[in-house]
């Protein structure tokens, strides 16, 4: 069975998943952003098979998330350093950390985000950099961008639809169709 290539999809989430969607990749990036650099460090941290680690490191280098740097000629040894693109993945990891702690840690947080000056636990939120307002529905919604194909434009055409879905309220069009069916029955 061949995995579908998401790279050709116009969705930025799909394209991002093409680069980091495999779970080992995300854990390798996590470790790289925490300062691990060498093959044996990643292997020890993750308890991952060498062949799998080699494949994932190569894929992350090919995706431009890690840079391979030679640190020894004899024997030849490389280290892996996050690129600017890789460092830009840090907010995604922070969001996953917060989401995981909220929904999948009934025993409590095993890792948390803290303020390095005060040691206080931080509850991260995503904010609009222009206004400083938290990004949440219904105040913010997905919308087609300038390069969006027609299918994407149709998908995001109705901000009302998105807000209804985000608030877990019946979608207006579906509710209207259901009401029409009931009245015609």
Does some domain include residue 3? no
Same domain, 83 and 139: no
Give the orientation angle of helix 12-20 with respect to helix 23-33, to 10 degrees: 80
Asked if pLDDT for residue 104 goes beyond 80, the answer is yes
| Structural domain ending residue among the three candidates 87, 109, 135 | 87
Same domain, 99 and 74: no
Does some domain include residue 6? no
Per-residue confidence (pLDDT) for residue 161, from 0 to 100:
55
Considering only 40-49, 56-65, 91-100, which range has the smallest mean pLDDT?
91-100
Per-residue confidence (pLDDT) for residue 139, from 0 to 100:
86
| Domain count within the chain | 3
The predicted model scores a pTM of 0.76
* C-alpha distances out from residue 33 to 28, 57, 81, 84, 85, Å: 9, 14, 8, 11, 12
pLDDT in tens, 166-177: 555 444 444 454
Same domain, 106 and 162: no
pLDDT in tens, 18-49: 777 788 999 999 999 999 999 999 999 999 99
Structural domain boundaries, residue 36: 12-87
Mean pLDDT for the chain overall: 84
Same domain, 115 and 139: no
């Amino acid at each position: 069975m061949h995995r579908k290539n998401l790279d050709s999809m116009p969705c930025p989430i799909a394209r991002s998943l093409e680069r980091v969607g495999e779970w080992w990749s995300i854990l390798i990036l996590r470790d790289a952003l925490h300062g691990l650099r060498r093959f044996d460090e990643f292997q020890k941290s993750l308890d991952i098979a060498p062949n799998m680690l080699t494949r994932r490191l190569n894929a992350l280098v090919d995706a431009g998330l890690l840079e391979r740097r030679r640190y020894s000629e004899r024997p030849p040894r490389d280290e892996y350093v996050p690129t600017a693109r890789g460092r830009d993945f840090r907010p995604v990891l922070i969001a996953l950390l917060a989401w995981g702690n909220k929904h999948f840690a009934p025993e409590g947080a095993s890792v948390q985000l803290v303020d390095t000056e005060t040691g206080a636990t931080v509850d991260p939120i995503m904010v609009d950099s222009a206004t400083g307002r938290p990004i949440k529905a219904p105040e913010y919604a997905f919308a087609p961008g300038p390069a969006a194909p027609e299918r994407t434009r149709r998908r995001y055409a109705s901000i009302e639809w998105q807000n209804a879905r985000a608030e877990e309220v019946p979608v207006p069009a579906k509710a209207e169709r259901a009401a029409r069916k009931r009245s015609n029955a």
